Structure 1
Amino acid sequence: MNIGYEAKRVFHNKTGLGNYSRDSIRILATYFPDHTYFLYNPKKSKENLFKYKNERVVEKLPSTAFYKRFYNIWRQKGILNDLKKDQIQLFHGLSGELPNGLKRNGIKSVVTIHDLIFVRYPELYSFFDRKIHFYKFKKAAEQADLVIAISEQTKNDIIEFLKIPEQKIKVIYQGCQDVFKQSYSEEKKSTVKAKYSLPNQFILNVGTIEARKNALIIVKAIKETKTPLVLIGKETDYTKQIHDYIQENNLQDYVYFLKNVSSEELAIIYQLASIFVYPSIFEGFGIPIIEALFSKTPVITTNSGVFPEAGGPDSIYINPYQAEEISTKIKWLLDHPKEAEEISNKGLQYAAMFTDEAIANALMNCYKSLF
């Protein structure tokens, strides 16, 4: 089968949507090498983000001077000529978008929708962005032969807000990069620990430092315990609230902000961490939780929404607005290393449902169900 992908984020996005796109193609090409995977990239990338080498994975760029210049028009319309020329039988929009005209050209289509946060939390988005996102996602979901939701939470939101029939939606969980599933030597761990001046015991939080991710509540939780906290993620205006709280409460020696951490270094930091705390208010899924489970780091996360789906039955769940409750759970885990280890081991067992093989099989079964 010749399978096409809307691959803008494969080549141009370093974070969540890019990782999902790259991992999906990598694992499909690994477990199903008899198919050919065409990656339709609207423009050349400045940095090589997709380093997976396989002769059955083919990058495709706009071929005419007009579409090279007006690549967004190519993504929506001009791409159809390339899809027909490449004899694409199925096209997968990996991040909520599909080009026009697939159905009338006999090309089956799948679209992945990651979340509808812009509907649930409109205050986080401009009026214009909300309208564009809603139009784009609803149109793609209606046009697609099948919609993939990355969680039951997202599936329910697609049904409620986009009015898509339940039978048209399939839940396929996300995995995480292979780097988080590796074991690292004590020498490598010591090198990373020294490079970032990390303490022997610390709490970890990973993700964009923005209001929805709610990192300030962790800083409030460690005010009494004085357990060091490491925050890794892109900073936003919200970060100023965290810095102000740190200054007001003399916590400068207890909160570490790390930037420009490589994937391998991040994986090692997960393994060095005592606890992973993720009190996010809302997510489509919550990949950092999966990364922590594979790293055998006990997880404390939000008790509602998608988080119990991602964390499984043995993670610890809290009210994300209650700093005292988070503080109590942190203390309990640090004071009960045996129980913390058991939670870690059970978390790793639960993570088996997010392995590459399980996800590859689920995606390919979706594709085959359309023929």
Structure 2
Amino acid sequence: MKIGYDAKRIFHNTTGLGNYGRDIVRILTGHPAISHLFLFNPKASSLSKKVELGKATIVYPAGWFWKNFTTLWRLFGESKQLSGKGVDIFHGLSGELPMGLPHKKVASVVTIHDLIFLSHPHYYNFFDRIIYRLKFQHAVNHADRVIAISEQTKKDIIKYLRTDADKITVIYQGCNEVYQKEYTTQEKQEVRKKFNLPEKFILNVGTLQERKNALSVVRAIKDTKYHLVLVGQEKAYAKKIKKYIRDNHMEHQVSFIKNISSEELATVYQCATVFCYPSICEGFGIPIIEALYSKLPVITTKNGCFPEAAGPDSIFVDPMDTKEIKTALEDLFSHPVKRAEMAKKGFVYVQRFSDANVAQNLVNLYKNLT
């Protein structure tokens, strides 16, 4: 099979959506059912070196007009450039599909990661909500199959986009292979030294924005001896966190890390004691998967997609209840045997999100369309 991908996020997004696309290319490049991948990329990017191109060709806009109006190219030009490539399926990896695919007789798939702009609209401005709604609605209406990355997202697609449940397939995503390997004691020591990490600490990974709710963890460790390490790019919400830290003289308790490589982050995971992720809403929550692969006990949100990602042996809390979060942290720090048992069971659970399972589920869906 030859698969075309709307690859903008693969080459121009360093976090969640980009990681999803890069992982799909990586795990499908070696699959025997895949003969070639065409990655439709609006313009060159330094991230190209992170993409495994063994069976892949990057397709750029052809012609002066499309090169200068890449947004329009993604809407109309991508489908025009399918001709002659023998593409069997076109897959929109981030909620979008180009116009004109049916005329090219190419089957189409779209992945919907989340509909937070509809379920929690206050996190988005009005115009972004309108644009996202139009793009996503067009994609699910015209796709032959819709992939939801969690059962929660599937429910949201049915509720907000009025999509037939039979058209939607849940295919969980995995995580980068760097989180699936074990790092040496020396590598951990080097990372501890570089980022000045204490012997024991709580880890939280994700962009510092309101819906990720890292401030609840900071509030939970107030008047304790626990140390928190926050890893992620900083939005305006980070100022709110830092103000709380200053006002409560907690500078010695909280470390901030950003612009860290994937390998270093994977090592930081393996240095941590507990992973605490009381996010308010997600499509799935990849940092949870990364933590489970790193053999960390997980504390996360009790509702939404989080139980799907974290499994039955994690601890679930009300993300806004700092006392409940504090109690969960105290429980794990006081009981190392419990931490070890949770980590062991979590590692068994996370194998369902392995590269092999993700690849086979995608290939099975593709085969059903050809």
TM-score (norm 1): 0.98
Query: Are the equivalent residues in 2 in contact too, given 1:11–1:49 (CA < 8 A)?
Result: no
User: One-letter code of the match for 1:11?
Assistant: F
Give the whole-Å Cα distance in 1 for the aligned partners of 2:26 and 2:48: 15
Alignment partner, residue 313 of structure 1: 312
Alignment partner, residue 19 of structure 1: 19
Query: Are the equivalent residues in 2 in contact too, given 1:31–1:357 (CA < 8 A)?
Result: no
User: What is the CA-CA distance between 1:32 and the residue it aligns to?
Assistant: 3.1
Alignment partner, residue 39 of structure 1: 39
* 1:57-96 pair list within 5 angstroms: 57-96=56-95
User: What is the CA-CA distance between 1:82 and the residue it aligns to?
Assistant: 1.4
Alignment partner, residue 232 of structure 2: 233
* 1:115-154 pair list within 5 angstroms: 115-154=114-153
Give the whole-Å Cα distance in 2 for the aligned partners of 1:14 and 1:75: 20
Q: Which runs of 5+ in 2 are unaligned?
A: none
Alignment partner, residue 198 of structure 1: 197
Give the whole-Å Cα distance in 1 for the aligned partners of 2:17 and 2:188: 28
User: One-letter code of the match for 1:21?
Assistant: G
* 1:1-371 pair list within 5 angstroms: 1-32=1-32, 34-54=34-54, 56-371=55-370
Give the whole-Å Cα distance in 2 for the aligned partners of 1:72 and 1:298: 43
Query: Are the equivalent residues in 1 in contact too, given 2:174–2:289 (CA < 8 A)?
Result: yes
User: One-letter code of the match for 2:258?
Assistant: K
TM-score (norm 2): 0.98
User: One-letter code of the match for 1:198?
Assistant: L
CA RMSD, Structure 1 to Structure 2 (Å): 1.0
Query: Are the equivalent residues in 1 in contact too, given 2:28–2:34 (CA < 8 A)?
Result: no
Q: Secondary structure at the match of 2:83?
A: helix
Moved more, 283-292 or 65-74: 65-74
User: What is the CA-CA distance between 1:248 and the residue it aligns to?
Assistant: 1.5
User: One-letter code of the match for 2:285?
Assistant: G
- Superposed CA deviations along residues 18-65 of structure 1, whole A, max 9, x for unmatched, are 0000101111112236421110111111443533140x2111111212
Give the whole-Å Cα distance in 1 for the aligned partners of 2:199 and 2:132: 44
Query: Are the equivalent residues in 2 in contact too, given 1:111–1:148 (CA < 8 A)?
Result: yes
User: What is the CA-CA distance between 1:70 and the residue it aligns to?
Assistant: 1.5
Query: Are the equivalent residues in 2 in contact too, given 1:225–1:331 (CA < 8 A)?
Result: no
User: One-letter code of the match for 2:259?
Assistant: N
Q: 1:34 to 1:92 in 2, by over 3 A?
A: closer
Q: Secondary structure at the match of 2:29?
A: helix
Q: 1:82 to 1:297 in 2, by over 3 A?
A: same
Query: Are the equivalent residues in 1 in contact too, given 2:29–2:52 (CA < 8 A)?
Result: no
Q: How many residues align?
A: 370
Q: Which runs of 5+ in 1 are unaligned?
A: none
Q: Percent identity?
A: 51
Give the whole-Å Cα distance in 2 for the aligned partners of 1:67 and 1:108: 23
Give the whole-Å Cα distance in 1 for the aligned partners of 2:339 and 2:50: 36
- Superposed CA deviations along residues 223-278 of structure 1, whole A, max 9, x for unmatched, are 13220000001111111111111111111100001111110000000000000000
Q: Secondary structure at the match of 1:245?
A: helix
Q: 1:51 to 1:89 in 2, by over 3 A?
A: closer
Query: Are the equivalent residues in 2 in contact too, given 1:175–1:354 (CA < 8 A)?
Result: yes
